[in-house]
């Protein structure tokens, strides 16, 4: 298979979405199996493309013969494929969790939604066209909202309705921004927009910047725009939590990068600068720092475990956005490490906390009591996940946080002050994670039965844990991945060149 069949990554899940609807009539297990198979294929194929890209550089897959900048094309960069593989891995583990559930009348629909989710995520990360990105963005939001509302209780419905409102307004903003770009530059190709963005007046640039901010910040769970998170996370089903907390966040971060850096920013002196009439980096850094603080404080006083994890997810996203706002090679490396840490460990946390709290009436901190005795495997998973999350030395989170501090301090200016604030706030994070872990160690007087082991959960959790440990303990491997991806992020020029002269490179 050549890289030109990259469209398969989008097409296969879409096709399967239809197929599973039909086949689901005969047997409800079939869609589930198809789901796992498709995701395995997608994961394999994306890693194959990743190796291809790492040797050949950025590749462009032209669709239906329209050369860029015309038509729709898929751009395969190291960065996007890396994140895509990560997303596939997460969806795979989430769907393993999903498969383990008993089948009911909803199974087929949910499988379809998961296919849709996969297709939308692939499209978002691969497309080289901004309007196409908008389309996938909407499909992605629709898939998310439907997944959240699956549980049909008050909280999930309220959460999904909030999400719907915010993302609809956001998409209107995005549409305005895209329209602005098209009206002024006359193109929709990301590479070409990126090439010619400086032609716009700084004021127009600032307008587009604000439109994009409004569009994306609710997806990246950043504070003033993220009021959907607690209800959504709390109300949603477990595998949806994994998808929301890990896969959606990664996708949102990718969009954030493309919109703000590939399109608006310009790498000057090894650092992205924004040629618009306001200090964009300051705004992003400020918003993300505020987001970190607010979510940490919110998490600190929460009792419900899912809510705590939701807030923590928001604060981690804030930290990654802060790393983005520093916008040099070091900070991108830090951001990538943090992204890996966030997605893998958050998935593990959701998964294992669900198992630990199984059978408890109130799903709050108290239901963690005595977890280690009841459910040693998942408690151990939870402990590993949260240690990585809070940055226990020599885990991914530790590397991420430390290198974030290093890059922020060397960037000096307001970043070094903000990073201090962020560090102080993340002490709160440590506190509530340790509070949860402490509950696991509490031994109960009445020895409760050991919870029945769910092997699907265990398999999916240990898969994620294995990836995390490999990343943390294989320095060469991780170093190569992170530095090539960060290098790819810094290298806007190559991206533009490769896309716009795609035919020369065939």
Partner 1 sequence: MILYSFLFALLTALLSLFIRREYNYIRWILYSAVLASLTFLIYTMNGLWGYSESFKLLSVGSVDFSLNFKVTPLSWLFSFFTTGLSLSISLFSIVKNRHEESERSIGFFWLILSVCNIAIFLSADLLTLFIFWEAMTFVSFFVISPGWTKSFKAVNYYFILSILGAFAMLVGIFFLYSKSATFNIESNIAQLFVLYELNSPQAIFITLMFVLGFFTKSALMPFHIWPAEAHSEAPDDFSSYLSGIMIKYGLYGSILFLVPLFVFISKFSQTQPMSNHIPLFSHILAWVGAITSVVATFLAVKSNDMKRLAAWSTVGNIGYAATSIFILSSMGVAGGIFHIINHAIFKTAIFLSLAAVKYRTHEREMHRLGGLAYKMPVTFLTFLLGIIAAAGIPPLNGYASKWMIYQSLLSGRFPFLATMIFLSSTGAFMYLFRALHSVFLGQLPSKFDDVKEVPFLMQIPMYILMLLMVIIGIFPGTVLLPVNSILKSMNMEEIKVTYTTMYSMLSSVDAPIVFLVFAGSFAFAFILYLIGKPRRHVELLDNYTAGQDPKEFGLTREMYHFALKFYEPFEHMFDKYPRTNTKEFYDSFERKINETGSFIKKFYSSSPRSAVYIFTLSIVLIIIYGWLVW
Partner 2 sequence: MIDNRLIYVMSLLLFLVGLYGVLTRKNILKMLVAVSIMETAANIFLIGLGYISNSSAPILSESLKQVNLLGSNISDPLPHSLVLTAIVIGVGTTALGIAIAVRLYSHYRTLNINKMGDKDEL
Element housing 268 (H / E): strand 265-268
Residue with tokens 């969790």, as numbered in its chain: 97
Alpha-carbon distance values, 221 to 37, 97, 355, 495 (Å): 31, 24, 25, 28
Nearer to partner 1, 182 or 441 (CB): 441
* Among partner 2, partner 1, none, partner that 134 touches (CB below 5 to 8 angstroms by kind): partner 2
Answer whether 309's CB lies under 8 Å from 346's CB. yes
Nearer to partner 1, 13 or 205 (CB): 205
311 token code pair: 């807030």
Nearest-approach distance from CB 456 to partner 1, in angstroms = 25
Quick one: CA dihedral 271, 275, 279, 280, positive or negative? negative
Q: What residues from 207 to 266 belong to the interface with partner 1 (CB under 8 A)? A: 210, 213-214, 218, 224-225, 227-231
Residue among 122, 407, 454, 460 that touches partner 1 (CB under 8 A): 407
Report the 10 Å Cβ neighbour count for 452.
Answer: 10
Nearest-approach distance from CB 410 to partner 1, in angstroms = 4
Q: What is the DSSP string of 228-254?
A: THHHHHHHS-HHHHHIIIIIIHHHHHH
* Among partner 1, partner 2, none, partner that 331 touches (CB below 5 to 8 angstroms by kind): partner 1
Determine the straight-line distance between the first and last CA of the chain, rounded to whole angstroms.
Answer: 15
Nearer to partner 2, 435 or 450 (CB): 435
Element housing 318 (H / E): helix 305-326
Nearer to partner 2, 251 or 284 (CB): 251
Nearer to partner 2, 205 or 265 (CB): 205
Residue among 16, 255, 351, 387 that touches partner 1 (CB under 8 A): 387
Which of 318, 282, 277, 284 is CA-nearest to residue 299?
318
Nearer to partner 2, 161 or 392 (CB): 161
Nearer to partner 2, 75 or 141 (CB): 141
* Among partner 2, partner 1, none, partner that 175 touches (CB below 5 to 8 angstroms by kind): partner 2
Phi, psi (rounded to 5 degrees) for 227: -70, -5
Return the SS3 of 271.
strand
* Among partner 2, partner 1, none, partner that 403 touches (CB below 5 to 8 angstroms by kind): partner 1
Q: Is 412 in the site for partner 1 (CB under 8 A)?
A: yes
Answer whether 181's CB lies under 8 Å from 193's CB. yes
Q: What residues from 157 to 186 belong to the interface with partner 1 (CB under 8 A)? A: 158, 161-162, 165-166, 169, 173
Q: Is 346 in the site for partner 1 (CB under 8 A)?
A: no
* Binding string, residues 183-202; x marks residues near partner 1 by CB under 8 A: -------------------x
Answer whether 384's CB lies under 8 Å from 376's CB. no
Residue among 317, 356, 437, 467 that touches partner 1 (CB under 8 A): 437
Nearest-approach distance from CB 160 to partner 2, in angstroms = 6
């Amino acid at each position: 298979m050549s890289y030109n069949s990259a469209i398969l990554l989008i097409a296969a899940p879409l096709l399967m979405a239809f197929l599973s609807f039909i086949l689901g009539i005969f047997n409800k297990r079939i869609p589930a199996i198809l789901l796992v198979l498709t995701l395995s294929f997608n994961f394999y194929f994306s890693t194959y493309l990743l190796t291809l890209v790492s040797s050949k550089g950025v590749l462009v897959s032209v669709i239906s013969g329209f050369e860029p900048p015309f038509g729709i094309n898929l751009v395969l960069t190291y960065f996007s494929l890396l994140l895509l593989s990560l997303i596939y891995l997460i969806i795979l583990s989430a769907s393993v969790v999903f498969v383990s559930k008993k089948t009911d009348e909803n199974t087929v629909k949910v499988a379809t939604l998961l296919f849709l989710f996969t297709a939308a995520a692939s499209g978002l990360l691969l497309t080289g066209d901004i309007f196409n990105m908008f389309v996938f963005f909407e499909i992605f939001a629709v898939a998310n909202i439907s997944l959240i509302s699956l549980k049909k209780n008050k909280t999930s419905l309220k959460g999904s309705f909030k999400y719907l409102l915010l993302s609809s307004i956001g998409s209107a903003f995005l549409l305005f921004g895209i329209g602005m770009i098209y009206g002024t530059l006359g193109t929709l190709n990301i590479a070409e927009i990126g090439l010619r963005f400086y032609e716009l007046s700084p004021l127009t640039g600032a307008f587009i910047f604000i439109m994009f901010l409004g569009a994306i910040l609710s997806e990246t769970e950043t504070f003033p725009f993220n009021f959907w998170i607690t209800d959504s996370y709390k109300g949603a089903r477990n595998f949806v939590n994994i998808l929301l907390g890990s896969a959606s966040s990664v996708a949102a971060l990718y969009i954030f990068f493309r919109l703000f850096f590939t399109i608006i920013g310009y790498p000057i002196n090894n650092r992205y600068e924004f040629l618009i009439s306001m200090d964009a980096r300051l705004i992003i850094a400020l918003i993300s720092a505020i987001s970190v603080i607010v979510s940490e404080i919110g998490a600190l006083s929460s009792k419900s475990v899912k809510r705590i994890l939701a807030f923590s997810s928001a604060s981690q996203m804030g930290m990654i956005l802060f790393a983005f706002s520093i916008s040099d090679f070091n900070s991108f490396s830090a951001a990538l490490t943090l992204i890996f840490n966030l997605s893998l460990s958050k998935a593990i946390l959701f998964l294992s906390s669900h198992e630990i709290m199984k059978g408890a009436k109130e799903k709050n901190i108290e239901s963690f009591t005595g977890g280690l005795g009841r459910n040693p495997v998942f408690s151990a998973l939870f402990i590993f996940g949260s240690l990585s999350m809070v940055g226990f030395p020599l885990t991914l989170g530790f590397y991420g946080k430390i290198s974030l501090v290093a890059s922020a301090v060397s960037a000096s200016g307001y970043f070094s002050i903000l990073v201090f604030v962020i560090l102080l706030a993340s002490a709160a994070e440590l506190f509530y994670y340790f509070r949860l872990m402490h509950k696991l160690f509490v031994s109960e007087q009445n020895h409760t039965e050991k919870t029945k082991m769910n092997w699907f959960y265990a398999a999916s959790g240990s898969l994620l844990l294995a990836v995390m440990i490999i990343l943390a303990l294989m320095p060469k491997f991780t170093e190569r991945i992170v530095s090539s991806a960060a290098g790819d992020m810094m290298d806007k020029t190559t991206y533009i060149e490769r896309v716009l002269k795609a035919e020369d490179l065939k």
